[in-house]
Amino acid sequence: MRTSRIVEEGAGYYHIVSRVVDRRRVFDDHEKERFRDLMRAVSEFSDVKILTWCCMENHIHLLMHVPECQEVGDAEFLRRLACLYDGVIVGQARAYLVTQRKEGHDKQAEEFKREYTYRMYDLGEFMKTLKQRLTMSYNKRHGRKGTLWEERFKSTLVEGTPGTLMRMAAYIDLNPVRAGLVKDPKDYRYSGYGEAMGGSQRARTGIMALMDEGVKREGWWSAAARYRQLLYVSGERRGVQENGRRVKPGFAPEVVTQVVDQKGTLPLTAILRCRIRYFTDGAILGSRMFVEGAFLRHRAHFGAKRETGARPMKGADYGDLFTARHLRVDVVSAPVPA
């Protein structure tokens, strides 16, 4: 029996991971561009904010903010509708609303809008719309049928503080480095950081949202410099093994294994280059107080005998971060191809 997702009733921050069925590598550069465009369109439609993202060959990462649900006026409704639907549908919707308002049928007008607005400000509906539209687009262009995705996406509730959000974002933006696709995360176009460094204002807005107010006031380049300090690690392991196999960037597998087995720690900027299951399977991530509070709000998701929520994270100096799940297997592993 699968467990339901931990989703806040109001606003919340989430790390989402979704994988292609059978882990097939279907996203070439063209498909990654298509993903980015659709992601941005669904974001505008639903008012779910993308802080950063990364599209790999067989999976996607999103760090998003789902705001409190708000009333949507007619003009804003039509603007958002145009993000996902063609001019004919938007024109018909506009004509219907104008007619209903003119005749005093406000109830009918609002009921019509709710046929679309229930999908706004909602994590599950955002992902459903995004994945369905990507599947339809991909299948049409490649002459295939069936789902493109594994059945369920993973979600982790993330504390909305700059320190926690920046660490989660860095983990996402370092995906192409862990996979050996680039040496510098700014060179990967299909991520929030790479898109921002390429000049995208929307991507820069997302990165800026990770920062505290002082950095925001200083502007984009100050924020970019602060974020890059967390992303960049010098002294990467490079080269070719005796068998001719290329060595991936980051720490050698034996070093990571030894540190974890000996209950030692690696610096946070180093561990972010590794795979960390806490960031995808921890259910809740943040300070001890945040995890304990979320645990109480979502008590039904955990065993009846469990008394506390926050669990320490092993393998690195995570600072004040805790998680809701005490993972035991493959908590931290050296970078390998995605």
Residue 33 lies in a domain: no
C-alpha torsion sign, points 197, 12, 166, 161: positive
Residue 289 lies in a domain: yes
Q: Identify whether residues 179 and 327 lie together within a single domain.
A: yes
Residue 211 lies in a domain: yes
CA–CA gap between residue 245 and residue 252 (Å, rounded): 13
160-170 burial code (b ≥16 CB/10 A, e <16): bebbbbbbbbb
Residue 42 lies in a domain: no
Phi, psi of 65, deg, nearest 5: -115, 120
Which residue from 338, 317, 323 is spatially nearest to 290, judged by alpha carbons? Answer: 323
Give residue 194's pLDDT. 95
Domain with 246 in it? 12-22+154-333
216-239 burial code (b ≥16 CB/10 A, e <16): eeeeeeebbebbeebbebeeeeee
122-140 burial code (b ≥16 CB/10 A, e <16): bbeebbebbbebbbebbee
CA–CA gap between residue 50 and residue 61 (Å, rounded): 11
Q: Identify whether residues 206 and 90 lie together within a single domain.
A: no
Which residue from 314, 321, 317 is spatially nearest to 284, judged by alpha carbons? Answer: 321
- What is the count of structural domains for the chain? 2
CA 191 → CA 74, 171, 176, 230, 277, distances in Å? 33, 11, 9, 16, 20
pLDDT in tens, 241-265: 555 555 544 545 555 555 555 555 5
SS (H, E, C) 64-105: EEECCCCCCCHHHHHHHHHHHCCHHHHHHHHHHHHHHHHCCC
pLDDT in tens, 146-204: 989 988 899 999 999 999 999 999 999 999 988 889 888 899 999 999 999 999 999 99
Confidence of residue 237 (pLDDT cuts 50, 70, 90): very low
Residue 322 lies in a domain: yes
pLDDT in tens, 50-77: 999 999 999 999 999 999 999 999 999 9
Q: Identify whether residues 108 and 181 lie together within a single domain.
A: no
Average pLDDT along the chain: 87
The secondary structure of residue 20, as a DSSP letter, is B
Q: Identify whether residues 272 and 203 lie together within a single domain.
A: yes
Give residue 245's pLDDT. 54
Chain mean position to CA 166: 12
pTM for the predicted model, two decimal places: 0.88
CA–CA gap between residue 40 and residue 38 (Å, rounded): 5
CA–CA gap between residue 163 and residue 168 (Å, rounded): 9
CA–CA gap between residue 94 and residue 170 (Å, rounded): 42
Q: Identify whether residues 108 and 205 lie together within a single domain.
A: no
1 pLDDT higher than 50: no
